[in-house]
Amino acid sequence: MNEIILLKLGEMVLKGLNRHEFENRLLNDIRSRLKPLGKFDLSIRQSTVYVEPKTETDMDEVFRRLQHVFGPVAMSRARASAKDVDAIVETAIPYLREAMTGAESFKVESKRSDKRFPMTSIQISQAVGGALHDAYPHVRVDVHNPDLTVYVEIRETAAYVHAGSLPGAGGLPVGSGGRGVTLLSGGIDSPVSSYLMAKRGMALVPVHFFSYPYTSPEAREKVEELARILARYTGRMTLHLVPFTAVQEAIRKNCPENLFTLIMRRFMMRIAQRIALDTGCGAIVTGECLGQVASQTLDAMTVTGQVCTLPVFRPLIGLDKEETVKLARRIGTFDTSVLPYEDCCTVFTPRHPKLRPTVEELEKAETALDCETLIESALAGVEKLVVSGW
Ligand code: ATP
Ligand code: MG
């Protein structure tokens, strides 16, 4: 029998009547990720997804892709065998060769979810452990502190042998938590805030503002690359690239310099909300963090959030930079984020940004602008780019 992958589900299994909806989303998500790699049978039994290849495939690559799918908390590669202790032993000896050869000590742990199986878990462990020890006599049995734990699981339709599990991506299947527009800059923070919302099941529409020629084509490519890295977790997404130069030039020409950043951010929020409504999104996500910069004080976030009626989620709000950096490294966005290209936020930054802005003040400054026309023409110039992760 072929090698298969077992995905142990996390929080999802606690869901009640809508559990099937979560499961179907997860299966569809897995199906679309694996489609380019061959044909697979997918099924869910006893809080576990079984991913069984039906054609020749690269199992390392399958495993790597599945490690980025939200929903499973643990995953293992396993080999199925008939539900008979001799068959299990015959499967385990060659399948575990590499793991056994690399270990100095081992133990076998068995789980019997099919209670009709004629041996107890302890008897199964003893039988399989004894046979493995005979086949690999240099590996000691150590039930307290082994290098390697071999697992035997007797389930409904077959028995499975594996050498332990690795963590899955956790969270909830993408799409089970609604849809949101995520404001994606080229910085460290917004890829992480996007990831965190996606992990809780939100499907994302990334939106990036660029200010060519003040920002370079490389800066844009960097954001495209960040979106591709995120798409390993979220599945395929449509990146919206919004030309922002005209808005920024109009603000610079007509508004007080100390309000420049805040007015610019209010435009970003307004345009993001329009894209959200056009694409069926119910929220806006940003990488803001309390107190990180002048435009992220409570007063600043009040005046920038105030132009939206949709909820604005800021999942990094309470994190220290160090914590965000750690996450960015773990999810694989950090090295791209730190490439030295400028962002539109650094174009025309005020020397003395207003620290205690009020809504009235901003509304007054914005009367000098034809806001609707600026928003409309930015939206008319949006380019859409479909990105996928692999
Ligand atoms: P980041 O590391 O994500 O760039 P930051 O700490 O540099 O964040 P700001 O530049 O003030 O903070 O941006 C705050 C948030 O506004 C970002 O996290 C992002 O969600 C959004 N944002 C900023 N610039 C852009 C942009 N050019 N396009 C899209 N969203 C942006
Ligand atoms: Mg930034």
Considering the domain architecture, whether residues 269 and 159 belong to the same structural domain is answered as no
Q: What letter does residue 315 receive in the DSSP assignment?
A: T
Closest atom of ligand 1 relative to the 286 alpha carbon: 20
CATH number of the domain encompassing residue 144: 3.30.2130.30
Considering the domain architecture, whether residues 190 and 159 belong to the same structural domain is answered as no
Q: Is the peptide bond before 213 cis (omega within 30 degrees of 0)?
A: yes
Rounded to 10 deg, the angle between the 371-380 and 260-278 helix axes is 60
Q: How far apart (Å, rounded) are the C-alpha atoms in residues 33 and 5? A: 14
- Asked whether residue 255 is domain-assigned, the answer is yes
Distance 299 CA to ligand 2 centre (A): 19
- Tell me the average pLDDT across 254-277: 96
- Could you report the per-residue pLDDT of 49-75, keeping only the tens digit for each? 999 999 999 999 999 999 999 999 999
- Could you report the per-residue pLDDT of 279-328, keeping only the tens digit for each? 999 999 999 999 888 788 999 999 999 999 999 999 999 999 999 999 99
Considering the domain architecture, whether residues 162 and 189 belong to the same structural domain is answered as no
Is pLDDT of 192 > 90?
yes
Q: What pLDDT, on a 0 to 100 scale, did the predictor assign at position 376?
A: 98
- Asked whether residue 31 is domain-assigned, the answer is yes
- Asked whether residue 80 is domain-assigned, the answer is yes
Distance 134 CA to ligand 1 centre (A): 60
Token pair belonging to 244: 């922002």
Q: How many CA atoms lie within 13 A of 176 on its CB side?
A: 25
Q: How far apart (Å, rounded) are the C-alpha atoms in residues 69 and 168? A: 8
Cβ(134)–Cβ(98) below 8 Å: no
Q: What pLDDT, on a 0 to 100 scale, did the predictor assign at position 157?
A: 85
DSSP three-state, residue 332: coil
Q: What pLDDT, on a 0 to 100 scale, did the predictor assign at position 11?
A: 85
Q: Of the candidates 134, 167, 200, which is a domain's last residue?
A: 167
Q: Would you place residue 84 in the very low, low, confident or very high pLDDT band (cuts 50, 70, 90)?
A: very high
- Structural domain including 371 reads 179-387
Identify the CA nearest to 241 among candidates 267, 260, 223, 214: 223
- Asked whether residue 203 is domain-assigned, the answer is yes
Token pair belonging to 14: 């606690």
Considering the domain architecture, whether residues 163 and 24 belong to the same structural domain is answered as yes
- Tell me the average pLDDT across 159-187: 96
- Asked whether residue 174 is domain-assigned, the answer is no
Which residues contact residue 360 at a Cβ distance below 8 angstroms, ignoring those fewer than 6 apart? none
Q: How far apart (Å, rounded) are the C-alpha atoms in residues 68 and 322? A: 23
Q: Which helix (H) or strand (E) holds 387?
A: strand 383-387
Q: Which amino acid is at 35?
A: K
Q: How far apart (Å, rounded) are the C-alpha atoms in residues 13 and 23? A: 9
Considering the domain architecture, whether residues 278 and 144 belong to the same structural domain is answered as no
- Asked whether residue 84 is domain-assigned, the answer is yes
Cβ(347)–Cβ(218) below 8 Å: no
- Could you report the per-residue pLDDT of 86-140, keeping only the tens digit for each? 999 999 999 999 999 999 999 999 999 888 999 999 999 999 999 999 999 999 9
- Could you report the per-residue pLDDT of 320-374, keeping only the tens digit for each? 999 999 999 999 999 999 998 877 777 788 888 888 889 999 999 999 999 999 9
Q: In 123-171, at which residue ranges do the beta strands (DSSP E only) sit? A: 140-141, 148-154, 159-162, 166-167
Distance 186 CA to ligand 2 centre (A): 6
Q: Of the candidates 140, 167, 194, which is a domain's last residue?
A: 167
Q: How far apart (Å, rounded) are the C-alpha atoms in residues 336 and 355? A: 31
Distance 216 CA to ligand 2 centre (A): 15
pTM: 0.92
Identify the CA nearest to 188 among candidates 273, 261, 293: 293
CATH number of the domain encompassing residue 341: 3.40.50.620
Q: Of the candidates 167, 188, 209, which is a domain's last residue?
A: 167
b/e per residue 237-254 (b: at least 16 CB within 10 A): bebbbbbbbebbebbeee
Considering the domain architecture, whether residues 138 and 184 belong to the same structural domain is answered as no
Is pLDDT of 1 > 60?
no
Average pLDDT score over the chain: 94
Closest atom of ligand 1 relative to the 211 alpha carbon: 27
Residue with token string 């069984």: 52
Q: Which of 181, 183, 184, 185 to mutate to test the pocket of ligand 1 (most atoms within 8 A of CB)?
A: 185
Burial of 157 (0-12, 13-18, 19+ CB in 10 A): exposed
- Asked whether residue 172 is domain-assigned, the answer is no
Cβ(264)–Cβ(374) below 8 Å: no
- Count of structural domains within the chain: 2
Transcribe 185-225 into DSSP letters: -SSSHHHHHHHHHHHTT-EEEEEEEE-TTTS-HHHHHHHHH
Considering the domain architecture, whether residues 208 and 64 belong to the same structural domain is answered as no
The binding-site residues of ligand 1, defined as CB within 6 angstroms of any ligand atom, are: 183-185, 187-190, 207-209, 268, 286-288, 292-293, 295, 343-345
- Tell me the average pLDDT across 252-265: 95
Which residues contact residue 372 at a Cβ distance below 8 angstroms, ignoring those fewer than 6 apart? none
DSSP three-state, residue 60: helix
